[in-house]
Structure 1
């Protein structure tokens, strides 16, 4: 019996993604030029919620993923481990 059987974690956390990103990364992900991104931020037309920290804008990763149509789904450890085994060529352990 696998000790992780019923445990799950958010996809973003599983892969160590940051909780929030800066304007440059958000703009790149949304295929916006940096100056356009700042212009939209100032006018309130940025595609996802922004937070100002000092002079910087930051975007919560979950908000950015949502704006991109990507769900931050729960991943079960059993599924993750099975996928890793298959990727290593050990599919004989697949149920």
Structure 2
């Protein structure tokens, strides 16, 4: 049975991005030094919610993207297929 072309997936899933990232990546994404990021995390002033895993801080990708002003838009499969055809040099004649 064929796939329904009205299906869509979040942008982050298309590129197989992780659901959580460490503080180093979060800091770089937000333009913060790692020292500043740790300082803000310890004070509870980090720009998005953090979670402790052992001695490490992690940030949900969804929260980081929101704090960075990046929308995790839904992408439709037919748009992905059209983009792949375009990248391969195929034209709709």
Structure-1-length-normalised TM-score: 0.91
Q: Mark the CA change 1:16 to 1:69 in structure 2 (over 3 Å): closer, same or farther.
A: same
Question: Do residues 13 (structure 1) and 16 (structure 2) align?
Answer: no
Structure-2-length-normalised TM-score: 0.93
Query: Unmatched 5+ residue regions in structure 1?
Result: none
RMSD: 1.2
Structure 1 ranges of 4+ moved more than 6 A: none
Query: Unmatched 5+ residue regions in structure 2?
Result: none
Distance 1:53 1:19 in 2: 14
Q: Report how many residues are paired.
A: 92
Question: 1:16-45 CA distances to partner (integer Å, 9 max, x unpaired)?
Answer: 000000010001111111010000001111
